[in-house]
Amino acid sequence: MARTNALDDLLNSIQKTWHDREQPLAPPAGCRKLNKGNPSNLSDQFSKKYDKGAASSASNPWKVKALMVYPLKSCAGVELDTAEVGHSGLKYDRQFTFAQQVTGLPSLEGKVKSQWTFITLRQFPRLARVEVELWVPDPKAPGYDEDGEWVKSGGCIVARFPFSPDTELSLAGIRNYGSILAAKWRGNPEPMVEFRIPFDPKKDRITNNGYRKEPVKIFDDVPVALNMGGEINEETMSKLKYTLGVSNPLTLFRIDPGAPRSVLHNVPKKGDVGFQMSIGMQDAHPVQIQNLASIHDVSSRVPPRFRPLNILRYRPNIIFIGPPAFDEDNWKKARFGSLTLDISCRTTRCKLPNVDPLTGIADRNEPGTTMRKYRVIDKGSKSACLGMQVTPLEEGFMSVGDKVEVLARGEHHFIE
């Protein structure tokens, strides 16, 4: 009995310690959170009223349903009510990516080559469990100072990820068990670890924190970007690697604002539109749009245990409602609110949508297998297609509820 009481006392003490340690940090001084509050505009995304679309009319126009940005590539998204749109995409979208250092086999001369290579949900599905908040400077926010740490950097990203390692029953194991209990008692599934990174760091911070400009491999592209790994302390990075399952060295890159990546395929030419299409850390194009009715169609065909499919599996920026399923397949140009968009090509799909965005668990087959049965529709690709890749032809703002109008239709032919 004495040993039981002692263990209870120890667990209570550990629970109190972790309760104190795991309280969220104070909001970034001088900033306000940009994330949309509850309820989400996608809270009713599974409603049957979105199963079927109809022709757009004055009494029933097609509309923007929701807006999403993903500041940290492959991590959880940030929902907005209004988004600033530039030629290279929605502001804040996919400006950062995690990358691991991959080492090749030695050459005949004994030289070993290593390269930073971006990581995504394809290889590390638990990236979906990294929660993201956007904080932007606001003179009305507490602690606002033009020379403040976060104000000078154009705001910051607050990221949190679950960390509960499996350890044997030792003092460390008991401490971990206590942290899990503490989290559950507070209504959280797992203890969370938080870190913050400046959105647009200035020269003094770049120098003080030892940023380096280094090449990072993104598919066949190797841009020189800012290695910001120094912003995340060693202990936090180790926990992140454990959570994600990364064994190689891990770091964080930001696209160099002065050197965006050019897009040359499946987009209008610079001579035709007056500017060079460019992106940050996106896979290939500035913006992705999704018709909710199209997601419902796929959802109706997958095995029952996968229904309903969350549209966030497909990581769209702009979600719209109104058109029948797959009506968007032959759009060439459209107006969303006041902005004209070039509908550049269809979105070819890999295994990334097989990851459940809420659990970070990947399925080997679905919904990819179902999609390949009827959505291999582009003569330029052998992959299933769902959604469209878009290039903004104008800059400005887009809001939930904006009207969607198709300006031109035609054929698409994906170019690798």
172, pLDDT greater than 90: no
44: number of Cβ within 10 Å: 11
Residue 105 included in any domain: yes
Kindly tell me if the per-residue pLDDT of 14 is higher than 50: no
Quick: pLDDT tens for 98-123: 999 998 777 676 676 889 999 999 99
Q: What total number of domains does the chain contain?
A: 1
pLDDT in tens, 269-294: 999 999 999 999 999 999 999 999 99
Do the Cβ atoms of 122 and 219 come closer than 8 Å? no
Beta bridge partners of 403: 63
Residue 273 located in a structural domain = yes
| pLDDT for residue 132 is more than 60 | yes
Q: 402 lies in a domain?
A: yes
361 domain residue, yes or no: yes
Calculate what percentage of the chain has a pLDDT beyond 90: 78
Q: What backbone torsions phi and psi does residue 210 show, to the nearest 5 degrees?
A: 70, 35
Mean pLDDT score, 77-100: 98
* pLDDT score for 346: 98
Distance CA 321, CA 293 (A): 7
Whether 4 shows a pLDDT value over 60: the answer reads no
Kindly state the average pLDDT of the residues 295-315.
97
Predicted pLDDT at 182: 53
- What local confidence, expressed as pLDDT, does residue 173 receive? 44
Q: Per the domain annotation, does 311 fall within a domain?
A: yes
Give the model's pLDDT for residue 5: 56
Token digits for 249? 């060295």
Average pLDDT taken over every residue of the chain:
90
Report yes or no on 347 lying in a domain. Answer: yes
* Full domain range(s) for residue 145: 31-409
Is residue 137 over pLDDT 80? yes
State mean pLDDT over 295-307: 97
Q: For residue range 350-399, what is the model confidence (pLDDT) as tens digits? A: 999 999 999 999 999 999 999 999 999 999 999 999 999 999 999 999 99
The answer to whether position 1 is within a domain reads no
Give the residue from 396, 285, 299, 294 showing the smallest Cα distance to 344. 285
Please compute the mean of the pLDDT values over residues 220-248 and round it to a whole number.
95
How many CB atoms within 10 Å of residue 242? 15
Asked whether residue 91 carries a pLDDT value surpassing 50, the answer given is: yes
Label residue 355 exposed, middle or buried (CB < 10 Å: 0-12, 13-18, 19+). Answer: buried
Enter the pTM of the model.
0.89
Structural domain includes residue 22: no
Q: Residue 369: which H helix or E strand, with range?
A: helix 368-374
Q: What is the DSSP secondary structure assignment for residue 366, as one 8-state letter?
A: T
pLDDT at 262 over 60: yes
Q: How confident is the model at residue 17 (pLDDT cuts 50, 70, 90)?
A: very low
Note the pLDDT of residue 180.
Answer: 47
Model confidence at 177: pLDDT above 60: no
